[in-house]
Amino acid sequence: MASTVRQHLGFGVRCKTGAVAEDMIGSCASEWKPTDRKVRNVAVIAHVDHGKTSLVDCLLQASGEFGDMELGDRVMDSDQIEMERGITILSKCTSFSWGEGDDKVLFNIVDTPGHADFGGEVERVLHMVDAVMLVVCAREGPMPQTRFVLSKALAKGLSPLVVFNKADREDARLGEVEDEVLDLLISLDAQEHQLDHPTWYTSAKDGWATEDIELTSRTSMAPLLDALRAHVPPPKVIGNTDTEPFRMLVSQISVDPYVGKLALGRIASGRLQPGDSVRSISLGGEILEEGTITKLMARRGTGAVEITEAQAGDIVEVAGLSTPDPTYTVCATNDKCTRPLFADPIDPPTLSMAFAVNDSPLAGREGTKLTSAQLQKRLYQEAIVNVAIDVEQAPPMEGMSEAVAVSGRGELQLAVLIENLRREGFELSIGPPRVVFRTNEQGKREEPYEELRLDVPEECTGSLIESLARRKGDLREFVTGSDGMARLFFHAPSRSLLGFQSEFKTETKGRGVMNRLFDGYGPYNTEASRTRKGALVSSATGTTSAYSLEGIEARGTLFIGPQTAVYAGMVIGEHVRDLDLEVNPVKAKKLTNMRASGTDEAIKLQPPRLLTLEDALTWIGDDELLEVTPSHIRCRKQILDSGLRKVSERGRR
C-alpha cells in the first residue's frame, strides 16, 4: 500500500523541452491560459515564528466580512497541537472578498507551515496559487526555511510580494534585512520579474501595513490588501472554461463524518456543479472510480460553505468519491478525461522510525487501542493524507513485533504524529530514529546533509564548535554582532545531529536559537556518528524509593523521581560514563527493631530531567526503544532481560 501512496515520487520522465511525457496534462506552460477573473490565489510563506499566521488573521479582520466579531489570535491554527505549540503544521485555505464594485476580488489565501519538517505541506499547495507573499521578520531576516520555501516558489515561476513583519520592533534591521532578501533571491537564480517585487512593512501584532516605513500614518491592513489585488495575477487555466471538461488536481484530503472523504484542490479547467458525474485518476493514469459530486464547498473565512457552481481557477472541496488522494486527478467522465494532471514530485523523507504496539510490563494500563492491526490501519491512513511521509512494513527488530517503518522529514514531524497517536489512545513502542540512505548512479552510498544556523552568546561558541566538530560538522561561516551574540553556519550529516538539540539547549542555557534545513544528499561519512553517554538501567521491577535514588544520583542524571513505577530493563537516567550501568532504584531502607540514637535526615534529591517527546526520540540508542502511552514517556532497552541483553551484545561484537 505504501508504494501506491507514493507513486508520485520520481514519476514522469521530463523531455528535453521541459515537459513531462504525454501521459500528463498541464506540464507545459503553454497549456495554461491567463484569465480576467476577479480571483486572486496567493500563498503565505515564511520561516517559523515570523508571523505569517498572525498576518493572515489581520487580513481576515481587515476584510470586513466578519463585522464586529472578535476572531481571536491565530484562528487559522485550529488543530490542538498547533494551538499548544504555536506553530502551523497543516496548510489551510481561507477566502474573503475585498473591494467594491468593479474592483471587488475574491482572495483565496493559503496559510503554510513555517517549519522545515512540514515542508511537504508547502510543496503540495504551491500549484494552487499564482503568487506568494513572503513574510520575513524585520529583526531575524531570511532564515533556512525562508530559503527552502522561496526556492520552491521561484522554481514554479511564482512572483513574490515581500512583507517585512515586526517592523515596529526597536531592534528591527530593515536596511540590512532588505539586502539579505535581495541576496537570497539572486542566489536562488530568481528571474527578472521575480527580483522586481513590491516591498511592504507590517506589524501583525498592531494590525497595520505601509509601503513607506517613514510614514507615521499606520492604521490598518487595507493598503496591503490593495497591493495584493494589484500584484497577484488572475488564475491561469487550461483551455476555454466553457468548452474544456472539468479537471482538478487534489492537494489535500480530509474526512467528514457525515459526507466522507473531502478532496481539496484548484480547478484547472471547466466547470463543476453538485450532481455532476466525475472520475478519479491516479498519477499513474489508472481510472480508479466513477461517481457523482454530492457536495461542492468553498472556504469562506474560517469555515466552509456550500456553493452551486465553481469554475477553473477556484479552490474548492468536493465530496462523492472514496479514492482521491493527494496528487490524484478528479475530472469529468467524458472521453477527453483519461489522463492525469501533472503534479510536482515531493522531496523524499530523510528520517525513519519503527512503530509497534507497546509490549512492556506496564502495557495496557492507559491506552484503548492496543493491537497491531489498529496501529497499522491508522498509520496507512496518515500516509494517504500526509504526502510527506512514507509507511511500509519494517524489518524484524529485537523487542518489536509487527513493526511499521514510518519515514518523514525530521524529528518534529514524527513527534507530532506520535503525539496525535497517544492522544487517540494508542500505546506505542518507537524504535530509534535512523536516517534514510540512498545509492547514487555510481552505486555509492549517500546520506542526507543539513545546514545549521546557530544564534548563540559569544561565550558558547567554543564549546559548540568543538561539539559539532566531533559530529563531523563543517563550519562555513562565523559572524559576531555588537550585542554579544554570534551567528554560526555549519554543514553536517543528519545522522550525527540526532540528539544535538538537547545538547545545544544545555550548552547555551536556553539562550540560543538553532535552525536546521535539509541541504541534500552527499557522500556517506564513515566517521560521522552520534555521541551520547551510557544509560542507567533498572535491574528490578517495582516502585522507586528516594533512599535508592539518592545513591544512584551520583552516577548520572535521573529521568524519574521517587514513587515511580519501573520495570527491569527500563532506562531511568543517563550515566556519567559512556557505558550502561544497571542499578536498583526500588531498594528500600531496611528497618530494625533497634531505636536510633538520632533522627534520620530528610533525603533531598535533585529534580529529575524530564525528557520531552522530541528529546526522548533523539536520546534513545540503537539498542533502546521509546515507550509512549497517553500519560507517560519512558525509555527502555529493546531486550529487557539483563542476561539475554548481554548475550545479544556479545553476538553483535
Task: Give the per-residue SS3 of 484-529.
Answer: CEEEEEEEEEHHHHCCHHHHHHHHHCCCCEEEEEEEEEEECCCCCC
Q: 500-508 vs 461-470: helix axis angle to the nearest 10?
A: 160
* Mean pLDDT value across residues 350-355: 92
Q: Which of 360, 427, 399, 428 is nearest to 624 (CA)?
A: 399
**H helix or E strand, kind and range, residue 418:** helix 411-423
C-alpha distances in angstroms, 131 versus 125, 128, 403? 12, 9, 43
- pLDDT over 50 (residue 570): yes
Give the model's confidence band at 337: pLDDT under 50 very low, under 70 low, under 90 confident, else very high: confident
Q: What distance, in Å, lies between the first and last C-alpha atoms of the chain?
A: 37
Q: Which stretch of 2-11, 244-253, 423-432 has the lowest confidence by average pLDDT?
A: 2-11
pLDDT value at position 7? 35
Which three cell numbers, joined as nine digits, stand for 298?
A: 468553498
Q: Give residue-wise pLDDT tens across range 273-295.
A: 999 999 999 888 889 999 999 99
- pLDDT over 70 (residue 29): no
- pLDDT over 90 (residue 82): no
Q: 372-385 vs 411-423: helix axis angle to the nearest 10?
A: 130
Q: Which of 107, 315, 52 is nearest to 230 (CA)?
A: 107
User: Using CA atoms, how far apart are residues 446 and 290, in angstroms rounded to an integer?
Assistant: 43
User: Using CA atoms, how far apart are residues 565 and 542, in angstroms rounded to an integer?
Assistant: 6
With contact defined as beta carbons under 8 Å apart, do 448 and 494 qualify? yes
User: Using CA atoms, how far apart are residues 62 and 222, in angstroms rounded to an integer?
Assistant: 6
* Mean pLDDT value across residues 71-79: 51
Q: Give residue-wise pLDDT tens across range 36-46.
A: 899 999 999 88
Cα Rg, the chain, nearest whole Å: 27
With contact defined as beta carbons under 8 Å apart, do 8 and 202 qualify? no
Top-confidence residue, 455 or 385: 455
Residue 308 CB partners (closer than 8 Å, separation 6+): 273, 274, 296
Give the model's confidence band at 148: pLDDT under 50 very low, under 70 low, under 90 confident, else very high: confident
- pLDDT over 60 (residue 404): yes
Give the model's confidence band at 50: pLDDT under 50 very low, under 70 low, under 90 confident, else very high: confident
With contact defined as beta carbons under 8 Å apart, do 112 and 91 qualify? yes
Ordered domains of the chain (ranges, CATH): 30-234 (3.40.50.300), 238-332 (2.40.30.10), 439-523 (3.30.70.240), 535-588+606-652 (2.40.50.250)
- Cα-Cα-Cα-Cα torsion 275, 278, 280, 286, nearest 10 degrees, comes to 150
How would you class 462 by CB atoms within 10 Å of its CB: exposed for 0-12, middle for 13-18, buried for 19 or more? exposed
Which three cell numbers, joined as nine digits, stand for 568?
A: 527491569
**H helix or E strand, kind and range, residue 407:** strand 404-408
Reduced to 3 states (helix: H, G, I; strand: E, B; else coil), residue 185 is helix
With contact defined as beta carbons under 8 Å apart, do 157 and 59 qualify? no
- Output the pTM of the full model: 0.82
Top-confidence residue, 593 or 564: 564
How do strand 513-523 and strand 445-457 relate by DSSP bridges?
Answer: antiparallel
Q: Could you give phi then psi for residue 324, rounded to 5 degrees?
A: -60, 135
Q: Give residue-wise pLDDT tens across range 425-440.
A: 999 999 999 999 999 8
Which three cell numbers, joined as nine digits, stand for 185?
A: 533571491
pLDDT value at position 231? 92
CA angle 288, 293, 295 (to 5 degrees): 130
